[in-house]
Amino acid sequence: MCYSAMIRSEHRRYEREYGVQVSLRRYVELFWEKRRDGGWLRIPKAMRADFAEARTPAERELAELAAAADGEQARILEAELFRQKARLAEAERALAVRASRKAEDEQRIATDKIARAQRNLADLQRSHLMQRDARIFPGHYAPLIIWQDGGRVLVPMRYQCRLPGWSEADERRRPGTYNARRDNLGHAWRKLFGHQHGVLVVTAFFENVARHKLEHRPLPAGEAEENVVLEFSPQPPADMLLACLWSYSPGEGGGPGLYSFAAITDEPPPEVAAAGHDRCIIPLRPGHLDAWLQPDPHDLAAQQAILDDRAPLHFAHRLAA
- For the stretch 163-216, pLDDT in tens is 999 988 999 999 999 999 999 999 999 999 999 999 999 999 999 999 999 989
pLDDT digits (tens, 9 = 90+) for 15-72: 999 999 999 999 999 999 999 999 999 999 999 999 998 999 999 999 999 999 999 9
pLDDT of residue 1: 61
DSSP string of 65-120, one letter each residue: HHHHHHHHHHHHHHHHHHHHHHHHHHHHHHHHH---HHHHHHHHHHHHHHHHHHHH
The model's pTM is 0.93
Buried b (16+ CB within 10 A) or exposed e, 105-119: ebbeebbebbeebee
User: What is the rounded distance in angstroms from the CA atom of residue 30 to the CA atom of residue 52?
Assistant: 16
Can you say whether the dihedral through the CA atoms of 196, 201, 203, 206 is positive or negative?
negative
State residue 253's pLDDT score.
72
CA pair distance 182, 193, nearest whole angstrom? 10
C-alpha 286/C-alpha 288 separation (Å) is 5
As a whole number, the mean pLDDT across the chain is: 95
pLDDT band at 321 (very low <50, low <70, confident <90, very high): confident
Q: How confident is the model at residue 315 (pLDDT cuts 50, 70, 90)?
A: very high
315, 238 Cβ separation under 8 angstroms: no
Kindly report, residue by residue over 82-121, the tens digit of the pLDDT: 999 999 999 999 999 999 999 999 999 999 999 999 999 9
In this structure, are strands 179-181 and 258-266 parallel, antiparallel, or unpaired?
A: parallel
Domains in the chain, start-ordered, CATH in brackets?
4-22+134-319 (3.90.1680.10)
Residue 255 has pLDDT above 80, yes or no: no
Nearest to 62 by CA among 27, 11, 26: 27
Task: Measure the CA–CA gap between 269 and 234, rounded to whole angstroms.
Answer: 12
Give the helix/strand (H/E) hosting 164. none
Tell me the pLDDT tens digit for each residue of 111-166: 999 999 999 999 999 999 999 999 999 999 999 999 999 999 999 999 999 999 99
Helices 57-97 and 101-125 cross at an angle (nearest 10°) of: 160
What separation in angstroms does the CA of 294 have from each of 15, 79, 180, 303? 19, 49, 19, 10
Convert the pLDDT of each residue in 273-294 to its tens digit: 999 999 999 999 999 999 999 9
Judge whether residue 252 has pLDDT over 80: no
Buried b (16+ CB within 10 A) or exposed e, 48-73: bbbbeeeeeeebebbbebbeebbeeb
